[in-house]
Chain A
Amino acid sequence: MESTYADMTLDQLFGEHPHAREFFSALGLSSLPEGQTLGRTVAALDEELLLDVGIERQDLLGQFCDYMAGIERLRNQQQALVSSVTVLGGRDKSGNPENFRLELRPGEVTCIVGPTGSGKSRFLADIEWLAQGDSPTGRTVLINGAAPDLARRYAVEQKLVAQLSQNMNFVMDLSAEEFIRLHAESRMVADPAAITATILELANSLAGEQFTPVTPVTALSGGQSRALMIADVACLSSSPIVLIDEIENAGIDRKRALSLLADQDKIVLMSTHDPILALMGQQRLIFKNGGVSSIRSTSPAERANLTLFEEMDARLTAVRHALRNGEEIAGEF
């Protein structure tokens, strides 16, 4: 591989592999002459320039090949499909066995309830770490029913869990469109413009108030930001599992947000104290004393109650709206 690239001229190389150019510009070697072969170009690089950018001549070709191999892997989406994640119980803080076998499948929403400090974070960390009985809880995680390749633990490009929480904000100084496009490009998707348009449209369908593609991401309202983050994670994140820490009850259609993630075949884990969100899942895990104390499927009776709670919630929303409009809060709501 190294010699194939070394024998190509930079014109050829950049023509056939547009991402190759980024490697050199990222290193601070952007104005290389393009007529010569890569091997010759590297051999002729000025010593001073190499010192300035901080790389050794003999390492440059090897690093370039590693980089290109990484790009290829991303492009081929070698991310083996995750069709199930299984968690086998370990023990709680007092050493009592948990005795459960939990299956998580794409398209399903599992809620996580329990007070802070009850072991929710450790549970998620066990999944991320692909625990094999070697974490403090002694739990075991299986992927597609079998023990996973542990090299995956430190393969950041194959991270299992994408996270969304209320503390997260956009910090980049870009418009919504530029921002999503940048993400799409870094994910090597075939048609970044198309996926960007899809994501912006989905985000707007989730957000209470519309935003335009040129709105800076830092100027989005709370609901709009959350909507954009959810649409982006659903369509662009490489991780099969999405962990959500609450979705605030303002400016976003929470039910549609969850079904969007489920439709994109994400395994959704949602940590919440909100009864409506908790009942939106197919099942929920109840945490106590550092362990899973029980697992419950959402029953038909609970689903009926969910409808009731949603009506109550809609009424409260109407009251909030009326308050903002300066109306008297009297009569039917």
Chain B
Amino acid sequence: MRLITVAGPPSSGKTAIICKTAEALQADGVSVGVIKFDCLSSGDQVLYERRGIPARTGLSGNLCPDHFYVSNIEECLDWGLQSNFDLLISESAGLCNRCAPHIKDVCAVCVIDNLSGVETPRKIGPMLKMADIVVITKGDIVSQAEREVFVHRIRQVNSSAVIIHVNGLTGQGGHELGRLLRDAAAVDSLQGKLLRFSMPAALCSYCLGQRRIGADFQMGNVKKMELG
């Protein structure tokens, strides 16, 4: 199974582009499941299921959702493996701009929208800087000049990523993104894999800078989700 971590600021269009891409993939016979991580509430699971995409939600409550994510992603991977998906996508909103769910050797996507302003690429941390693929949304409502400046600003902070425009409403570009995701590396276990960047602040072992994944490395305030 291939695992993809999708992150991006709130309302940047993550769910929209995952839906469009999953539809394009499903049309080619690729099965896709999604795990959504959020803080307090999320209606995304319903949006996915309505389109026939199996989904689960993890709510972190008072923890940083990315910290919560890393304590649960192994179990999520198991869920995906048991469900026999070809592709498992995790969606998480980057709330603190400092933590990123991206894992070394696991395909990392950052979704960012043209409306958020040209300064935004500079404000987003490792979630953007360490992504393999940067998806830009909402190009349908800004000028060509703004789209080009925005791409340039993203290039300044991530010189190697593939940058791709996807329209979350019409799905234009979703097919093309799907091609990239199909080529992502297969992952059968996350045991011992490293986060691409450490997560600061202090509640659990990951707050203290731990980067290794696995039950042995989780200490302190660790919450587990119900996957059913």
Contacts and interface: CB of A to CB of B under 8 A. Distances in A.
Contacts of B142: 168-171
B223 interface: no
| A interface residue count range (under 10 / 10 to 19 / 20 to 34 / 35 or more) | 35 or more
A94 to B, nearest CB: 18
A153 B176 contact: yes
Given A168-B143, A170-B146, A229-B145, A53 B125 contact: yes
A54 B156 contact: no
A170 B165 contact: no
A67 B129 contact: no
A63 B143 contact: no
Nearest to B157: A26
Contacts of B160: 63, 66
Interface stretch (B36-44, B69-77, B114-122): B114-122
11 contacts: A23-B156, A56-B197, A63-B158, A70-B155, A129-B175, A135-B175, A156-B151, A157-B155, A170-B143, A182-B149, A236-B145
B164 interface: yes
A125 B122 contact: no
A223 to B, nearest CB: 15
B223 to A, nearest CB: 25
| B interface residue count range (under 10 / 10 to 19 / 20 to 34 / 35 or more) | 35 or more
Contacts of B10: none
Interface in A191-239: 225, 229, 232-233, 236-238
Given A169-B142, A179-B145, A54 B197 contact: yes
A23 B159 CA distance: 10
Nearest to A173: B117
A103 interface: no
B182 interface: no
A171 B156 contact: no
A162 B144 contact: yes
8 smallest beta-carbon distances between A and B, as pairs: A66-B159, A54-B125, A186-B152, A26-B156, A54-B126, A156-B163, A67-B159, A183-B145
Nearest to B97: A54
Among B100, B139, B157: residue with most chain A CB under 10 A:
B157
Contacts of B197: 54, 56
A279 B225 CA distance: 62
Among B98, B152, B160: residue with most chain A CB under 10 A:
B152
B129 A183 contact: no
A53 B98 CA distance: 8
Interface string B189-206: 000000001101000000
